[in-house]
Structure 1
Amino acid sequence: MNLSIFQTFEINSSIKMNTNPNTSTGGWRFSDVQVPDMFSGNESGRPSTVATVRVVKKTSALVSTALFILVVATLGLAVALTVIIVKHNNEDGGESSAPEICRTDGCTQAAARVLDNLDRTTPPCDDFYQFACGGFLKTHVIPEDRSNIDMWSIVRDNVQYTCKYLLEDPKTDPKAIAVQKAKDLYASCVNTTRIDKQGHAVAIPLLNELGGWPILGNKSGGNWNESKFDIAEIMKTLRKYNNKVIIDMGVGLDDKNSSYHIVTFDQQDFGMPDRKYYLDTRKTYRDMVEAYIIMARDIAIEFGANPETADKETREFVRFITMTQEETRDTDATYNKMTLKEMKTQFPEPTKNETIQFNWLKFAQLVFGLEGVGIKINDTEPVLIRSMKYYKNILPLLQKYSKRTIANYLVWRIMQNRARNLPKKFLDIIGEYNKVLYGIHTRSANWKRCMGYTILQLGGPVGKLYVQEAFDEGAKKTALDMIDDLRGAFIEILLEEEWMDDTTRQAAREKAEAMGEWIGYAGDILNDTALNDIYDDVKVNRDEYFQNVLGNLQRWGIGGISGLRTVYDKSGWSDPPTTVNAQYSFLLNNIRRKFDKDGNLRDWWGEDIVARFKKETQCIVDQYGDFTIAGTHINGKNTLGENIADNGGLKQAFRAYRHWVESQGKEEPLLPGMNYTHNQLFFISFAQVWCDKETDKSFLSGINTDPHSPAKFRVWGTLQNSEDFANTFQCKRGSFMNPEKKCSVWKK
């Protein structure tokens, strides 16, 4: 029997991720994870065509710990060994020597994939990315509805095609109530005839609940009354629908006691992917801000606003948006614990004579008093402030704008998202914005957007269908075996690092050994009774898509804060089986160096060790900072953690692979039609994971918002620092891929 790792990886390699586990999750309820209030959208980066739960990491850009390397290595090896680890078992149980060439279907297919992506006219030591991915770049075209195409999107497409077939299957099972809800939700979303017939009237009750949208004047959904304006009341209603605007108050885990929840105050984004879009004066960014203004204006006009009024008032609230956001990547800077009473001292409330009134305690009581929450709050309630500078500035800043401007902005933020659930003309407006921002020329097929939304809301039921249809149990065991091998390789590296002292080394080892892994899917996912119970509060009407969306938003909004007084279940799942990714949790055995083996924020490194570590990492900051794309330098500091992980992960994965070969007692047979050793195939496969073709605007978006380096530089930077790579391909010292100066945190 022959098993290609690549074939198993395509099914799922989802390691548990939940960097913002804001609620108590018993079991594996995906809906409890905080996610952007949209689907197939771009609030935190480039638009996606599937509902992978994307997480914006808000931790130190300075370092990633060894555990980060372990997890990334798990993903890297899972793909890097796509053509290397091919198991050969003698079917008849007798003894036989391994063939010189592997000619199984798995080996043949793997060899074909590798060869198709290569550009063998480029010497590997001149530009390994072009060598490994040149064929891919030549033969793949960026789809009109996307800003990029890469290996990940191809795998996700295959998952989506399977899920489409499963959700459109008319067969029903009366016992599988949750599964039927998923099918009904998907059906309501793809029913564009009914959505277009209903028009924007379905959103008018929501506008009225918010007190009206001032920009609409006396039109339906408008009729705003300035004398009744209460910013806390509006933000409470927005929070009910999982929209945290201006004041981002929620429930998270206490970084220093990660089993318990705490009220958190974070800074909120302001409509576009990053503050730089508003502040950069270059024409490219000015054009993007103008596209954002036009999108907001045109959506208001579709609701009946006067064009001149819409243009004027949209520009006014965009001026408000241009306030400076503060950097919050440093975990220490984001851990500021106090009480609500102390918040009032730290961030004084407006005086009675000021235009916009706000009271911290009143706002907290309004939100936690929402129906379905019912938690009593007083001024002794402990809270975490994630951005001190932001909250020192926000209330004074509000006083510089009229109530009308602030109200227009608050309502716009939920309508920016809800416009995606309205008729085609609204989607076309959003499409024009995405064209300018990301270089996307065509909207995604409706079924793809609806698929993403359905998975996001009902990932468990969709995951059940997918597991039954496509999951290979052998893949799960293979991934777990690799994790064990990688963990062992990492511990070896720890023992060899000279910049670590024995105390820190032992603590890191304990952390590695304590790390949990979540592979594939939760055991209860195939149990209809358990699945039905988990999604019991989901209400779906096959004919009322917009109402389904509002209901789901309320479920997320209420679920996100109702667990304040509960103990967090660290064993729960947060991703559906359809997720194609490998990620990690900061708090469920956090992998950054500032978190201990229990996931609690604690500085377990000595000051001298930290100093040595910083010295080692500066080389990587400088190296990646010299890379440029789309006329812009990479930010070596912002991408430092991921770059360290890539470099250490590759080193660790290669070591683990060589140990695996030693344990087999011989090298694996060669792949057919190829003249590459398995060590060479290891690095080729590593590079081909990152084959990626993007628009320049997509690159700009990634540089501004993504803690990862662009794909090409993940290959260049990592392999330029790898002695294993240079030796494997016999690259001459001083060549592009084997420079004289190499950077390395994990040196062995």
Structure 2
Amino acid sequence: MVLGSAQYKRQDDEVPMDEDVTSVGSDRLCEAPDGGHVRFVDSTIRYHLGSTSYWHSRSGLEKGLIIVCLILTLFSVIMVVIVSNNASGKQLYYLSHNKQSNATPVTETPEPPKTLCLTEECVKVAGTILSTADLAQDPCEDFYQYACGGWERLNPIPDGRTSWSMFEKLWEGNQLVMKNALEGPTTANMSAAELKAHDYYQSCMDDEGKLEEERGKPLLELVDSVKIGGWPIMDETPIGTMKNIATFQNRLQYLQHDFQASGFFTWSVGEDDKNSSIHVIQIDQGGLSLPAREYYNLHDNSSKPVLEAFREMIVEVAILLIKDKEEIESIPQPREDAIRQRAQGVVDFEIQLANITIPSDQRRSEETLYHNMTVGELQKIAAFLNWTTFFSNVFGKVGRKISAKERVIVYAPTYLRNLTKLIHTYMTNDSLRLDLENYMVMQVVKTYRTALSKDYRQTGKGLEKALLGKESFPERWRVCVSDTDSVMGFALGAMFIRDSFDVKSKPEAQEMIDGVKEAFRTRLKTLKWMDEETRVAALEKADAITDMIGYPDFILEETSLNRKYENLSVAAGEYFKNNLRFHDYVLRENLAKLDKAVNRTKWSMSPPTVNAYYTPTKNQIVFPAGLLQIPFFNLDYPRSLNYGAMGVVMGHELSHAFDDQGREYDEKGNMRNWWNNKTLFEFKRRTSCMEHQYSTYNLGSTDTISGTKTLGENIADNGGLKTAYYAYQRWLERETLHEQPLPGINLTHNQLFFLSFSQVWCSKQTPQAKKLQLLDDPHSPAKFRVIGVLSNSKEFAEAFHCKPGTTMNPEDKCEVW
């Protein structure tokens, strides 16, 4: 369950926090813009190599010459690979040879001679596959290195990044498409929403230098307003203005409701897990500035540099604000050591907050987390606020009254009880009360400092280096493109679709989804460990899964698109104010949902997003246009490659409906137990196998994967591969044809299916980024998303003739779906 307040703007491709969704996964960290708040998000994916219109416009002679040139180029690539590997004294594991490998020689029924596929796309993808792979590796011992060894040699992590992958390469390509759209001339055909997106992007780019001219003054106006009352950390002799629990409540309401800053807990209006047709207020734990509670562990030496960098970030931004305030009025300055001591007080409070935060691997059961109660009942377990007043204050923005009888869903009652005790301790001690006040005001400072001049945006540089190993920041235009996508993603998505999306992809992708669904249903019918009653319910749920592909239709309808953003005001030269307006707009949109029916066709990702997701309360899978590109999907690729990449993603999302959390929801998206006890016991036995398997993996250090935290994604990865493989086999049977071999590659198409799956996960990370992924990401690291899945696949072992007992074909395998 991922909850968050409606107050946050997404970073890059982050899913809006008002829906519970599970994405295809992450092998990368979201790069926080210009030193912005670092957080982990669900991934981006693939790179579009270009249109085929050039090919179709050539004459027959020209096409022949192009093919000859491409074949010669491909031959050169093959020879370079062979020579370089032979020079290193390594054996090339061409699978038909099986020399010195752990593959079992087999006698296969010879197939009719097949002509090579020599289309432009086949030749290009063959070259890409060969340059990405390392054929010197034994595929039966380490298939990740076999699939990605060449890519790792050729792709160092670029400057300004902490990871690099095919995911990020595609996202950067999509960013370039969006940049060209945003920087191009406006036309009379553009919708009002698209013009707003242009203006927002221009305000972020700050071509006129207004951000540098204003520096921290807009933030100072907020901090020094009557509602906030200043930031004690900046005062020479701080006394604070938060004297009692009443002023504490007022301050928190101002920060959350007027300025959309966070702190202490998260809340939003979302779909009720047990009645998914209605919306309800949801409350969960929250309030930590660092991306994982483990960073607050004082007994872990690796945490100390992160906590010190966090403290220094607070010191840096406070010093900048003090200097800018001096230009407005003469003020006595506190010593830097005094500022640092107060900043340490903020860090110390967050350490206490982390101590009461429930670890994510103890929050896997949706049923256990769900607590339905009234606001009045909430008051009894969390008395640090008057909750009726708190919610009445914010819902007053949309004219909605809240009483003590209003129903809320609480996902962390134990945390809220302990938070009540912690706040009482701080409020009854003068020194600690100042630390609490500094923490609260820091929430608004943290939220808006990235909307200021460059020196403010870079106050988090030290923290990002400690957390991620990041040495520099990306180009400003990339930051602003991602920011515009997070604010007006559907307006920008309309431009993206018109400029780069092949509309023929939608029906082809739909055909693949239908095939994957049918393969999954067929698998369900044959599972011997499932009783008939549960099987019938599972089939009903599988049949009820809906899907959406590419983009929502409304974005290409000017009136509908304009209506979506009609209440969002944007001005080209007002980036800071645009942020304030956007946060207020998102908050009001979220509040207004409380009395509205659930929109089951609402998208939670913008079209350019390179990702996919499953929503359990809607029982729905979604695949944005940004995903339907090379190497996941290409209309002119062999189906083995499309099913190995895009098909596995489809199967992954479908399998989330039946992972350890998704299985708790029925066909209508309501949480209820539809499992027979015996079958549920067997399901848990099988998932326990997978939990243990992944817990044995490590990244060459004592940092091991949490098989518990990553269980849902590992179930989806394994189920997705198996489902896509059988969908591909059914396609072959239905089409009654053999796919043409690719030139220069001595692999069958069944083998290419597994190679295609593996190569989309080729990636690199800094050591710090790897650690953060282990702590905060529910997905396994990319290498083990390949090795873990394939070592469980008897179909893979058969395709590559791996001997029993080899690393990639262990005797004991884990299987759920």
Distance 1:523 1:21 in 2: 27
Residue 218 of structure 1 deviates from its aligned partner by 6.7
Task: Tell me if the contact between 2:617 and 2:670 (Cα under 8 Å) persists in the aligned partners.
Answer: yes
Q: Which runs of 5+ in 1 are unaligned?
A: 1-17, 24-29, 37-43, 58-71, 83-87, 351-357
CA contact (8 A) 2:255 2:262 kept: yes
Q: Which residue of 2 aligns with 1:12?
A: none
Look up the equivalent residue of 1:326 and give its one-letter code: I
Cα distance, 1:472–1:618 mapped onto 2, change above 3 Å: same
Residues 498 and 56 from structure 1, CA distance in 2 versus in 1: closer, same or farther, beyond 3 angstroms?
farther
> In structure 1, how many angstroms separate the alpha carbons of the residues matched to 2:152 and 2:127?
16
What TM-score does the superposition give when structure 2 sets the normalisation length? 0.78
In the other structure, the counterpart of 1:46 is 29
The residue type paired with residue 541 of structure 1 is A
Q: Structure 2 counterpart of 1:213, which letter?
A: W
Residue type matched to 1:170 in 2? P
Counterpart CA distance in 2 for 1:31 and 1:721 is 31
Partner of 1:649: 720
2:676 partner amino acid: G
Please show how residues 356-395 of structure 1 align to structure 2 within 5 Å: 358-369=385-396, 371=397, 373-395=398-420
SS in structure 2 opposite 1:507? helix
Match of 1:429 in 2: 459
Query: Alpha carbons of 1:288 and 1:20: their partners in 2 closer, same or farther (altered >3 Å)?
Result: closer
- Cα deviation for residue 319 of structure 1 reads 1.0
What SS is found at the alignment partner of 2:664?
Answer: coil
Q: 1:663 to 1:174 in 2, by over 3 A?
A: closer
The CA deviation at 1:22 is: 8.6
Partner AA of 1:637 in structure 2: T
Whichever residue aligns with residue 688 of structure 1, its letter is Q
Q: Which residue of 2 aligns with 1:259?
A: 277
Once the two structures are superposed, the pairs formed by residues 310-325 of structure 1 within 5 Å of their partners are 310-322=339-351, 323=353, 324=355, 325=357
Q: In the alignment, what sits opposite 1:39?
A: none
Structure 1 equivalent of residue 171 of structure 2: 156
The whole-number CA distance in structure 2 between the counterparts of 1:160 and 1:31 is 15
Deviation at residue 35 of structure 1 after TM alignment? 7.3
Q: Which secondary structure state, in structure 2, belongs to the residue aligned with residue 564 of structure 1?
A: helix
Matches within 5 A, 1:482-521: 482-521=512-551
Percent of residue pairs bearing the same amino acid type: 34
Matches within 5 A, 1:412-451: 412-451=442-481
CA distance in 1, matches of 2:497, 2:114: 34
Checking the alignment, whether the CA contact within 8 Å between 2:40 and 2:776 is kept in structure 1 is: no
State how far apart, in whole Å, the 2-side matches of 1:309 and 1:20 are: 36
Distance change in 2, residues 1:528/1:218 (3 Å):
farther
Q: Distance in 2 between matches of 1:405 and 1:256?
A: 40
Q: Secondary structure at the match of 1:584?
A: strand
Match of 2:793 among 705, 712, 722: 722
| 1:326 and 2:358 are equivalent in the alignment | yes
- In structure 2, the residue matched to 1:459 is 489
Counterparts of 1:166-315 in structure 2 under 5 Å? 166-173=181-188, 176-191=191-206, 193-207=209-223, 208=225, 209-217=227-235, 224-227=240-243, 230-240=247-257, 241-279=259-297, 281-304=299-322, 306=334, 307-315=336-344
Which string of whole-angstrom CA distances, capped at 9 and with x for unpartnered residues, describes residues 217-245 of structure 1?
A: 179xx995244872222222222233332
> More displaced, 245-254 or 433-442?
245-254
Work out which of the residue numbers 659, 662, 672 in structure 2 matches 1:602: 672
Q: 2:758 aligns with which of 687, 695, 710?
A: 687
Instruction: Say if 1:416 and 1:45 are closer, same or farther in 2 by CA, change over 3 A.
Output: farther
Map of 1:700 onto structure 2: 771
**Contact 1:47–1:146 under 8 Å retained in 2:** no
After TM superposition, the runs of 4+ consecutive aligned structure 1 residues lying more than 4 A away are 18-23, 53-57
**Partner letter of residue 255 of structure 1?**
D
- Work out whether residues 35 and 55 of structure 1, in 8 Å CA contact, stay in contact via their aligned partners in 2: no
Counterpart of 1:137 (choices 132, 143, 152) is 152
Conserved? CA contact 2:395–2:402, under 8 Å: yes
What code does the residue aligned with 1:276 have? E
CA RMSD between the two structures: 2.9
Distance 1:330 1:56 in 2: 21
Q: Is the 8 A contact 1:34 1:560 kept in 2?
A: no
The residue type equivalent to 1:340 in the other structure is V
**What is the match of residue 665 of structure 1?**
736
Contact 2:750–2:799, Cα closer than 8 Å, also in 1: yes
What 5-or-longer segments of structure 2 have no aligned partner? 7-12, 20-26, 51-55, 61-111, 323-332, 427-431, 621-656
Report 1:395-414 matches (<5 A). 395-401=420-426, 402-414=432-444
Partner residue of 2:380? 345
Taking structure 1 as reference, are residues 630 and 126 closer, same or farther at Cα in structure 2, changes over 3 Å only? Answer: closer
Please give the residue correspondences for 1:561-576 in structure 2 after superposition, counting only pairs within 5 Å. 561-576=591-606
C-alpha distance in structure 1 between counterparts of 2:497 and 2:283, whole Å: 38
Q: Is the Cα–Cα contact under 8 Å of residues 242 and 556 in structure 1 kept in the other structure?
A: no
Distance in 2, matches of 1:569 and 1:582, equals 19
Take 1:699 and 1:708, find their aligned partners in 2: how far apart are those partners? 12
Query: Aligned with 1:473: secondary structure?
Result: coil
Residue 629 of structure 2 corresponds to none
Retained in 1: the 8 A contact 2:285–2:411?
Answer: yes
Residues 1:335 and 2:406 are matched in the alignment: no
Deviates more, 1:373-382 or 1:559-568: 559-568
What is the aligned partner in structure 1 of residue 429 from structure 2? none
Say whether the 8 Å CA contact 1:45–1:706 is kept in structure 2. Answer: no
Report how far residue 19 of structure 1 moved. Answer: 6.6
Could you say which structure has the greater relative contact order, defined with CA pairs below 8 angstroms and 6 or more residues apart? 1
Structure-2 residue corresponding to 1:529: 559
1:293-328 CA deviation, whole Å, 9 max, x = no partner? 111111111111632222111111211111220143
CA distance in 1, matches of 2:433, 2:269: 28
Q: Is the 8 A contact 1:541 1:548 kept in 2?
A: yes
Q: In structure 2, what is the equivalent of residue 108 of structure 1?
A: 123
Aligned-pair CA distance for 1:509: 0.8
The residue that corresponds to 1:628 in the other structure is 698
Query: What corresponds to 1:68 in structure 2?
Result: none
Contact 1:32–1:559 at 8 Å: present in 2 too?
A: no
Q: Deviations over 1:456-511 (max 9, x none)?
A: 11111111111111111121111111110011110111011111111111111111
Q: CA deviation at 1:696?
A: 0.9
Bigger radius of gyration among the two:
2
- SS of 1:170's partner is coil
CA distance in 1, matches of 2:222, 2:14: 22
TM-score normalised according to structure 1 size? 0.85
Query: Aligned-pair distance for 1:377?
Result: 0.8
Distance 1:124 1:174, change over 3 A: closer
Cα distance in structure 1, aligned partners of 2:802 and 2:365:
38
Cα separation, partners in 2 of 1:330 and 1:283, compared to 1, 3 Å: same
SS across alignment from 2:279: strand
SS at structure 1 position matched to 2:281: strand
1:531/1:363 Cα in 2 relative to 1: closer, same or farther (>3 Å)? Answer: same
- Of 555-564 and 113-122, more deviation after overlay is shown by 555-564
Cα offset, 1:605, TM superposition: 0.8
